Amino acid sequence: MFSKLLIANRGEIAVRVMRTAKGLGISTVAVYSDADANALHVAMADEAVRIGPPSARESYLKGDVILAAARQTGAEAIHPGYGFLSENAEFAEACAAAGIVFVGPPPSAIRAMGLKDQAKALMAKAGVPVVPGYLGEEQSPKRLAEEAERTGYPVLIKAVAGGGGKGMRRVDSKSGFAAALEGAKREAASAFGDDRVLIEKYVARPRHIEMQVFADNHGNAVHLFERDCSLQRRHQKVIEEAPAPGMPPAMRAAMGEAAVKAALAVGYSGAGTVEFIADASEGLKADRFWFMEMNTRLQVEHPVTEAITGLDLVELQLRVASGEKLPLAQDQIRLQGHAVEARLYAEDPQHDFLPSTGTLERLHLPENLVRVDSGVREGDAVTPFYDPMIAKVIAHADTREAAAAKLAHALEATQIAGLRSNNAFLIRALKQPEFVAGDIDTGFIPRHQAELIPPKAEPPLQLLGQAAMFLVRECERAHRSNDPWDRADGFRLVGDARQTVDFVIGGKRRSVQLMHRHDGSLEMMDAKAAVSPHGNAVRMKSGDIAVFERGETWVLSLYDPFAAADEQGSSADRVTAPMPGKVIQVLVRPGETVKRGAPLAVLEAMKMEHTLAASADALIATVDVSPGDQVNEGAVIVGFAKENSEAA
């Protein structure tokens, strides 16, 4: 076994790998960009080396710099985590040339599975079923459009290199193909440096089911059962579970056999995931699944496999990489219970899941109830440079129903403030009747969007009472004195004292009446139930109050009688950047008239493209940015003519 390991990654996966390495007595080395100088993975490591500026291309994707850090610290092996250099065959070769072990498969296997078109051709030759579509070298828009027509709409356009939903577009008809192709190729080129795509038949009721495989350097290969990753938004996984709901034993055996066959076909070693798409229109069947791709690395969702098998996949990776044989044969691996994982992201579900940046002014994760894998702490910042994941929360129980309920309960106890998150959305998804029944597919979230993402309602009176009582108690602590005349509790010689706290909700003033009792207690008047002033509210840096209830976060502003009351229409004359990012395209010119919903510009942030659209019919007055510009959140992108904003 190695004595020193460098983790060429960041965030929760770097922390995850370090925990196992430390348990095995292995010293750890972290690498970090300037944006991560104070990150948790840096604090946990035995040593840490700076590798560059915040941009991933100038830091975590710099293989030569990372290798230099390994040589500098005497690391014998490099664990790449997932993303970044984890599926980079050239980096794996460079590690070998430097005499450093790459904890992953051989470069030949990475190359074989790294390009989706070649991988599918190889799998078809090996007898693994593949999805119908086009995998050819000719990439002219005309040829691709012809192949989409031949395959039959709806189709998926997918980047040949990479994954994670980047460079992927669903197209339902011929009329939308050209624009979708342009966007997919542009996003693929930005994310992977390769704009080639393939065409794939879109399955009507698809289930995304993947098999965890493991192979050693002695010819042994096994699968560790399946994971269902069907709950996705924007082609990115949100909730994963193991095993797959409703999976017949015959299908599990057939899919496991196909996955092991795929691994052996490329001379695989280490941890890998073979991803399949299954047609669930008539229930899961052993002859209705097809190979999509193989991820030649550890997956984000690996904890659910660890939960149902009792195995530490990172430990297995390290043992295989150090030359050991797999410790178990296929018939010795047992499936125990059910596990569900939720990806807790800094994003805004009510605005198309746009990433949210900022400081985690409050972060409480119930690690006493469930497993939590996180790379951030309270007080850390979520920046625009990397994936906006806050944590993975994993629950394991004897049954699927119990695991999902346990996870929902844990998320209800989670508190997040300082930025937006998908926490409440996850809770609603876990409790949705069709999900509870196991009736899921990749269209689940779009199909139930209105139910899963309801309009943001005003906070109930009880929460206003909690915030008001929190403020009063905070004021009392700040003015604590033995002098009764210094007390800020509305003290009266006769009777109980009343106090009013005013908030601004949706531009309107809302008042809360509190009662100070002679015994020192504080009550909310007209409350139907007792209101606790403790534990459910925090003061933000802005002065606002964040209040938490069952996984929801409400941010309340105090009423300021001297502030301007009317801000109506202040943003109706412009479109601003919803987050920091890079302007990729500007689609309008001054003097042009646009309709509601018309695309105005394309912004790239957190590895994804986001189209900014007109909220109403408008006359373009100004275009304030150009392609290539880096903009901050709130920067004006397009200005509308004044008469138009007044009409809006």
Residues designated as active site: 297
User: Is the previous residue joined to 243 through a cis bond, with omega within 30 degrees of 0?
Assistant: yes
Nearest to 366 by CA among 413, 304, 408: 413
- CB-CB contact of 227 with 330 (8 Å): no
With beta carbons less than 8 A apart as the criterion, state whether 496 and 517 touch: yes
> Which residues does residue 619 pair with via DSSP β-bridges, in sequence order?
593
CB 580 within 8 A of CB 385: no
Q: Could you write out the DSSP letters of every residue in 112-153?
A: HHHBHHHHHHHHHHTT--B-SEE--S---HHHHHHHHHHH-S
Q: What sign for the dihedral angle of Cα 236, 188, 162, 159?
A: positive
- Helix axis angle, 249-265 to 116-125, nearest 10°: 110
- DSSP helix/strand/coil, 612: strand
Comparing CA positions, the residue from 442, 449, 530 lying closest to residue 205 is 442
User: Residue 24 has which token pair?
Assistant: 């095995």
Neighbours of 170 (CB within 10 A): 15
Count of CB atoms situated within 10 Å of the CB of 629: 17
Please identify which residue in the block is written with the tokens 């498969």. 105
Beta bridge partners of 504: 509, 557
Q: Angle CA(348)–CA(181)–CA(153) in degrees, nearest 5?
A: 95
For 126, the token pair is 């090996």
CA gap 131, 129 in Å, rounded: 7
H or E segment at 230? Answer: strand 221-233
Please name the amino acid found at residue 356.
S
Structure tokens at 366: 């119930």
Number of other CB atoms surrounding residue 315 within 10 Å: 16
- No. of H helices and E strands in the chain? 18, 37
Among 90, 122, 115, CA closest to 167: 115
**Contact 197/160 with Cβ under 8 angstroms?**
yes
| Sheet containing strand 133-134, strands side by side | 133-134, 197-201, 155-159, 169-171
- Give the phi and the psi of residue 179 in degrees, each rounded to 5: -65, -40
DSSP 350: G
